[in-house]
Structure 1
């Protein structure tokens, strides 16, 4: 391998007769005057005599062609492999043309590839095209992971990509971007497994109900159990909002997530809500006021003075009168709107639990997965993130003022479909507190990991604060443009984004100081959604067929005309309410599939065992 063509301080061209260059391959230029500069392949090209085209365009210009001839390449006969190599550091002068090029030893480029020890960082994958370095890799960096590749599962044979989580103190927050099927959710699963390994307290919002780590991934040689490292809670069943702890502003945020609020509705909340209100007291007040406004002041006054009313009814109308005296100027439509929103959140179970189990999980260093519908997660996240961040902030502020405060650990907030929680261009319940964490969370030890298919739809303030970005396959031009603006991806890397394999990722991180191409490792656990939906359909059809055969078996052989005699018994066993015609159709289907046998006799049609 040799340097050819015109060289600059930033990039060179390398040629070889035997070696086919690969993207992101690392090379060392043996130029003693420049202390052997190192670089990475960003573009490749091969030429042979059977394809007499291309030397007038692209990589190989006239200068490269002349250089190749001068150093002994036979343009008409040889296969020539060329690579454009971008230097990691600017050279003080152009590199000598004709200089030898070789693959580096690990010690020569260790500072560029590994920033943390395996036991202190997140082992997320393998740096692509580093198999040439594998023989010189120290034992401590070998055998750390498995890779799902073209030929199935293989052992690590390159440099592991270890994300230095400690450096997030200086360069906080992570963005995970990628289209559907790009491996984004798989990559996020690997990140969460590594956070569990280090026992870093983590709060995960899971709108897809997939972040469960109980099932072992197929093909994993070393089973790693995360059983005691995470808990899964569902909104309404395990966790909820303690209404009495809410401020007026909190109530506004929660109700606005159940349905947008008008100014008049906001005024209703601010007027009616009292400090330390329980859900029941607030709900009753709103409901009673709505009823009182519907009746009107005159009718309520008349009812209060009606001698024929029972004591309970008199007390109710007296309550109506007091509410009208206090809040009679409020519009009925707005009060009804608040009543509907409060009831909607209550029906979803939001006010029937508290967040104690989440706090306990964070204190125990666990990964806490919060599951629920997206709209409910938006509501709940605004409350729980604000509460936990407040506790951490209070502790740190007290410590800075040399006061005694209750310890609350640093933690990481992870969410998929992040553009739903912090959208660009309009407000969302959790957006303000997430923006605050994006800008100030580093000081308090609270960090964000935001995953989204649409980075263009994510709030720009938050996107700008994501110092490390994991970019999987992305097809939409607007998203690619956003990613290029927010990262140091080159023009060539940007062009590759729509064609990345599932599981391949560009990691653009201020921690690493450059963009790296990485293959995400095989996860130790699997998602509950990995079953192909068409296989699922096939399985269910087979299950239904087997169940029907089992029900029919005691009655076989059975004449078609005797179905009516067995109808009640068959429906009871199958838990169906089919009529005779439906059972005939099912018997016909089973006979066509060869599961049972259909025989026609002179007297009847019989269904028998095959």
Structure 2
């Protein structure tokens, strides 16, 4: 391999007549004056005598062709492989034409590829086009994980990509971008598995109920399996976690009720909450006060309320009217429409189960170094996350502030918050209650040891202030031009890499990290665990049908052979939940014979069904 064409300090052309080049492959150039220089292949092509080298618009120019001939390459006879190589560090002088180029040994490029030790980093996958370096790596870096590629599970075949988790103190927050089927959720799963291995406290907001780590990958060697059972908890809103109403401040309650209406409250509604809500209110005491106020405002005046009290015979009803008068005297000036709006939003939250339990189990997970997977519908998660994130963030912040002041306070650990479908929580263009706390963490969380992982299919829809704070971005296959434009704005992805984004295979990712100073192409490793959502829905349908016919076969197998003249008698003996009538029985017998469970035969007395 040699340098050809006109060169400069940033880019050169390299030719080989034996080995093709790979995109993102790292090469070493031996320049007589400047010594060893390292570069990365950014474009590559193959040429032979059937394809002229002066194709219009190609990246190879006449100077390359001329130097090929001068260096003795036979353009007319051999297939030639030509690559454009971009230097990692700008050279002092233009590279000498004819300089020898070779594949490096691992030690020569280790500083470019590894930014963390195994024990302190997250092993996310393999750096693409690093296969030639595998044999010269240290043994501890080899055979660390498996890959899933082209429908097969294969062994690690290159340099591992290790993300330095400690670097988040300097370069906080991670963004995961990619369209449907690109491997985005798979990548998030791998990151969460690595966090569990390191016992890093994490909260995951999971709207798809898929971040469960109980089920291991099947048919893989035990050395690649991990038991995460004791390292995470799945907590469903309304069952395992919720909001303890009597701990709510006015601010918490305003955020919650505002989130229930998919937007901020009017000033008038906010005023209703601030006035009517009292410290240590339970849900029932607050709801009753609002209900009585609503009814009193509908009646219209204190005199009319007293008139109704006078007409009632029941002491219990009379007591209710006394309460109503008291509430009316205190809050009767509030607008009825705003009171009604607050009340129905509050009641809707109660029906969703959000006031069941509290966030104690989430806090315990964090203190134990576990992952708390909070699950629920996206709408309910949006409401609950506002309360949850605000509370745990301020507990961590209060702890750090007390340390700075020299005060003694119970330890609350640093932690990570991971969002799937994050554009629903911090959207661009309009406000949500959760957006303000996410923006605050994006801008201030680093100082307190609170970090974000935001995954989304649509980076364009994510708030720009938040996107700008994501110092590490994992970019999977992305098709939309607007999303690609956003990614180019927010990362150091080159034009060549941006053009490849719509064609990336599922599981391939560009990792743009301030720590690396360049974009690194990575193949995400095979996750240790799997989710039920990976099953093809059509395979699921076939599996259900097969199971159904197996159950029917087990039901009738003991009665075989079955003659068509004896169907009524058989029907009285089978489970009528599975076979309801004669038509059902005829249908299943014919289907079972078609599917090979039984055979259909003819005899003197008519047709009959028997074992194979």
1:77 aligned to 2:55? no
Tell me if structure 2 keeps the 8 A contact 1:424–1:460: yes
- CA shift, 1:568, in A, is 8.2
Distance of 2:274 and 2:300 partners within structure 1: 22
Residue 516 of structure 2 corresponds to which residue in structure 1? 512
Any unmatched runs of 5+ in structure 1? none
Tell me if structure 1 keeps the 8 A contact 2:238–2:356: yes
Aligned partner of residue 144 in structure 1, secondary structure: coil
Q: Deviations over 1:471-520 (max 9, x none)?
A: 11111110000000000011100001111111111110001111111111
Q: 1:581 to 1:489 in 2, by over 3 A?
A: same
Q: 1:604 to 1:341 in 2, by over 3 A?
A: farther
For residues 44-55 of structure 1, what are the structure 2 equivalents within 5 Å?
44-52=44-52, 54-55=54-55
- CA shift, 1:407, in A, is 0.9
Residue 421 of structure 1 corresponds to which residue in structure 2? 425
Residue 399 of structure 2 corresponds to which residue in structure 1? 395
1:348 aligned to 2:352? yes
1:112 aligned to 2:112? yes
Distance of 1:544 and 1:64 partners within structure 2: 67
Match of 2:306 among 301, 305, 311: 301
Q: 1:558 to 1:332 in 2, by over 3 A?
A: farther
Q: 1:300 to 1:524 in 2, by over 3 A?
A: same
Aligned partner of residue 154 in structure 2, secondary structure: strand
Q: Deviations over 1:184-211 (max 9, x none)?
A: 1111111111111111111111111111
Tell me if structure 1 keeps the 8 A contact 2:555–2:575: no
Aligned partner of residue 488 in structure 1, secondary structure: coil
Q: Deviations over 1:500-548 (max 9, x none)?
A: 1111111100011111111111111111212111111111112222223
Q: 1:345 to 1:132 in 2, by over 3 A?
A: same
1:332 aligned to 2:345? no
Normalised by the size of structure 1, how large is the TM-score?
0.94
Distance of 2:534 and 2:138 partners within structure 1: 36
Distance of 2:552 and 2:77 partners within structure 1: 71
Residue 34 of structure 2 corresponds to which residue in structure 1? 34
Q: 1:12 to 1:354 in 2, by over 3 A?
A: same
Q: Deviations over 1:352-411 (max 9, x none)?
A: 101111111100001111111111111111111111110110011111111112211100
For residues 562-577 of structure 1, what are the structure 2 equivalents within 5 Å?
573-574=577-578
Q: Deviations over 1:193-233 (max 9, x none)?
A: 11111111111111111111111113432221111111111
Residue 326 of structure 2 corresponds to which residue in structure 1? 322
- CA shift, 1:78, in A, is 1.9
Distance of 1:154 and 1:467 partners within structure 2: 31
Q: 1:89 to 1:219 in 2, by over 3 A?
A: farther
Distance of 1:147 and 1:607 partners within structure 2: 49
For residues 439-450 of structure 1, what are the structure 2 equivalents within 5 Å?
439-450=443-454
Normalised by the size of structure 2, how large is the TM-score?
0.94
1:473 aligned to 2:500? no
Aligned partner of residue 407 in structure 1, secondary structure: coil
Q: 1:594 to 1:140 in 2, by over 3 A?
A: closer
Match of 1:494 among 486, 492, 498: 498
Residue 25 of structure 1 corresponds to which residue in structure 2? 25
Residue 239 of structure 2 corresponds to which residue in structure 1? 237
Aligned partner of residue 12 in structure 1, secondary structure: strand
Match of 2:486 among 482, 495, 503: 482
Aligned partner of residue 116 in structure 2, secondary structure: coil
> RMSD across aligned C-alpha pairs, in angstroms?
2.4
- CA shift, 1:24, in A, is 0.5
- CA shift, 1:338, in A, is 2.1
Q: 1:20 to 1:263 in 2, by over 3 A?
A: same
Match of 2:256 among 250, 254, 257: 254
Q: 1:600 to 1:504 in 2, by over 3 A?
A: same
Q: 1:547 to 1:73 in 2, by over 3 A?
A: same
- CA shift, 1:34, in A, is 2.1
Distance of 1:589 and 1:294 partners within structure 2: 66
Name the stretch that deviates more: 127-136 or 356-365: 127-136
Residue 178 of structure 1 corresponds to which residue in structure 2? 178
Tell me if structure 1 keeps the 8 A contact 2:54–2:62: no
Tell me if structure 2 keeps the 8 A contact 1:55–1:62: no
Q: 1:219 to 1:517 in 2, by over 3 A?
A: farther
- CA shift, 1:271, in A, is 2.6
Tell me if structure 2 keeps the 8 A contact 1:551–1:573: no
Distance of 1:587 and 1:295 partners within structure 2: 69
- CA shift, 1:103, in A, is 1.3
Distance of 1:71 and 1:600 partners within structure 2: 83
For residues 60-459 of structure 1, what are the structure 2 equivalents within 5 Å?
60-150=60-150, 152-221=152-221, 222=223, 223-260=225-262, 261-297=265-301, 298-306=303-311, 309-459=313-463
Tell me if structure 1 keeps the 8 A contact 2:245–2:283: yes
Q: 1:137 to 1:266 in 2, by over 3 A?
A: same
- CA shift, 1:591, in A, is 5.4
Aligned partner of residue 19 in structure 2, secondary structure: coil
Aligned partner of residue 36 in structure 1, secondary structure: strand
Name the stretch that deviates more: 126-135 or 594-603: 594-603
Name the stretch that deviates more: 387-396 or 297-306: 297-306
Paired residues, what number?
607
- CA shift, 1:294, in A, is 3.2
Q: 1:21 to 1:608 in 2, by over 3 A?
A: closer
Distance of 1:333 and 1:551 partners within structure 2: 62
Name the stretch that deviates more: 407-416 or 221-230: 221-230
